[in-house]
Structure 1
């Protein structure tokens, strides 16, 4: 195995490499290569000694990795971007669903591929939902991530910070209502790449903030008139990594979840299961991670005819 971590975050991979050595893994079983994607990453994807390429990252880079691996007719597993929808059906516990939604989007400062960044709420409770979201987001104050009391740290780089702020600004320009947060620098931290935790309301499915993966602590709130419209809006995305649905009746939620075009759906706040396969539909990738399905990606079947 050869691991090439993202160039912005190589240190955790170095710690993992040290763990494999301390555990007594034979030399050469696990190998760590650091470097830039266009150099080290492309060299690995092209290398004739590599039989399978498993990539986690953006859809744009995933296309490139897939093309390079395809030149050598190699197997490829891609876990790419997402624009996941959190659908709150009428009768669901609205406050619980929204608080879970905010916690999910603020996790890792919004830098999670499966973050539930589109919140779909019925017309009848839309204004109430927006107010509850503003209240919940206020609990996430940007600060020093080494402080145990801090719940929101910085994003990974200046480039990513600027991209997130630009998309928030574009959302407002396209007609979204800024409920809290915004594109300006937050108060407090003197250094670091910080973004204000942001809620955008009155978002429509055609806006950039409803279609593009922002990868920051930004939540877009959309309204719907009935369950069929909610399903259409949830599925109206080039991505299909994850989703969530909340309903008063579990059977109703499960039936809705089965019609969502994504690889994983949380039902009424269902707990994460590390044994369940994880991966996406459409431009969110191919293949699966975790559980038996994740192991099968690395196996090649063979039959002996005797």
Structure 2
């Protein structure tokens, strides 16, 4: 792909500007381990400059009529679609995602979230009368947006689009590990004619730029997606100014296969869901619970599904799994696979090291463990790679109790006869429960319980997070 000239600059107050200081970071293609570009890393001073621009633009943009903000979102969507192939190439370069997956999933996610927000904004209730009180929703203020590397446009779009719809101004800090697509997004915002200061982008690290966004007194709201560890730091930084914080954090999502399920379809679908995006999804169904009576059958189905995955060159048409993002992540996954073996789980397929025939790139063998018990490390910790743990259960009650016994609660999955699956789904403590692998619903609220975060994203749920509620008491009085 053609690397943007803007990687060495930040987008602030409607202009591409040189950093005030800071260093540079190489951008690695994880499939080749080659440095393909360098990105400028911002400092506190760069963040302050962007925050000041957003603050100066806020009053004017917040007063913009909702139909004008809606028209702006439509221009942003058109500009995004004009650069769709550039985004796909960026994802494959910076993440190692197979090119078909980049086009069909990663690019699509950004497009679909902007479109869903437009649909939600068209019918959003900004004001309503309750007796003699007018209840209003108005922009919360200046938003700090901190997004991850694993689904870059999914998370950027589902934060930026509702912020625009609500009338907020913002500073975006995308992941410095995968910054190419973030720079492209700033370019489409400029092309769409976003007013100066409404959208600003500063690349940088979490401890520097991220910490400044989450602590600065002129930031009214922080929307963060990332690890639970980093989310805790964001909350700590935000506490002294009592700013609102919405967080979408880690997960260890259970997938309960009921006795009433089609075992072949349920297990194979669970493998596909777990391994999608090379296992780098916070809501991936990584803990599969199966009735003990069919455990051995489930292992064979999972083995076949995993071994059918093609891991390798992201540019090859046949590839279904690319690498994980970095050496750091690869090392973590290897250690957790080793822990699974050491703690006595049955290694069904996969294991440590790179897949056969691959001697460079951060590729992980598609790995399935069976005979996993609830207390094992691989059943408790988020792995963030193509590793599935299958846990046999003796009773449905046992499966539900163990599924809920986690510090996380982002997503859960249930497979079985509809009435049966719905009854079990009601008992699972997670922000989103998917029943029988439905299509992705971009209007459903997305967010977690417990250490998976707080707040909800997507469509009107996201718009609500970017608003404050004001009551004009007596507005309708005589």
Q: Distance in 2 between matches of 1:107 and 1:19?
A: 28
Residue deviations 1:125-148 (CA, integer Å, cap 9, x gap): 110000000000011121011223
The answer as to 2:186 corresponding to 1:17 is yes
Do the aligned partners of 1:263 and 1:281 also contact (CA within 8 Å) in 2?
Answer: yes
Among residues 279, 283, 290, which one is paired with 1:110 in the alignment?
A: 279
Cα distance in 1 for partners of 2:317, 2:463 equals 35
Distance 1:51 1:119 in 2: 40
Point out the structure with max Rg over C-alpha.
Answer: 2
Pick from 223, 238, 260 the counterpart of residue 392 of structure 2: 223
Quote the residue 1:232 is aligned against: 401
For residue 213 of structure 1, give the secondary structure of its aligned residue in structure 2. Answer: coil
1:237-252 counterparts in 2 under 5 A?
237-247=406-416, 249-252=417-420
Separation in structure 2 between the aligned mates of residue 20 and residue 159 of structure 1, nearest angstrom? 32
State the TM-score, normalizing by the size of structure 1: 0.98
Equivalence for 1:186 = 355
Answer yes or no: is 1:69 the counterpart of 2:223.
no
Partner residue, 2:204: 35
1:148-192 deviations in whole A, cap 9, x for unaligned? 321000011100000001000011101111111001222223421
Per the TM alignment, residue 5 of structure 1 is displaced from its structure 2 partner at its CA by 0.9
Task: Give the whole-Å Cα distance in 1 for the aligned partners of 2:324 and 2:266.
Answer: 25
Q: Among residues 269, 276, 289, which one is paired with 2:444 in the alignment?
A: 276
TM-score scaled by length of structure 2: 0.63
Q: Is the 8 A contact 2:414 2:434 kept in 1?
A: yes
C-alpha contact 2:310 2:318 (8 A) present in aligned 1? no
Instruction: Name the residue aligned to 1:99.
Output: 268
Q: Does 1:300 align with 2:453?
A: no
- Whole-Å separation in 2 of the counterparts to 1:76 and 1:108: 27
The answer to whether the 8 A contact 1:142-1:188 is kept is no
Matched residues, number: 305
- Hey, what does 1:200 align to over in structure 2? 369
Structure 2 Cα separation of the partners of residues 189 and 43 of structure 1: 41
User: 1:77-92 maps to which residues of 2 (within 5 A)?
Assistant: 77-92=246-261
Query: Cα distance, 1:305 vs. partner?
Result: 3.0
- Where 1:302 maps in the other structure, the secondary structure is strand
* SS in structure 1 of the partner of residue 468 of structure 2: coil
SS of aligned partner of 1:44: helix
TM-align CA RMSD = 1.0
Ranges of 4+ aligned residues in structure 1 off by more than 3 Å: none
Which residue, 38, 53, 59 being the options, matches 2:228?
59
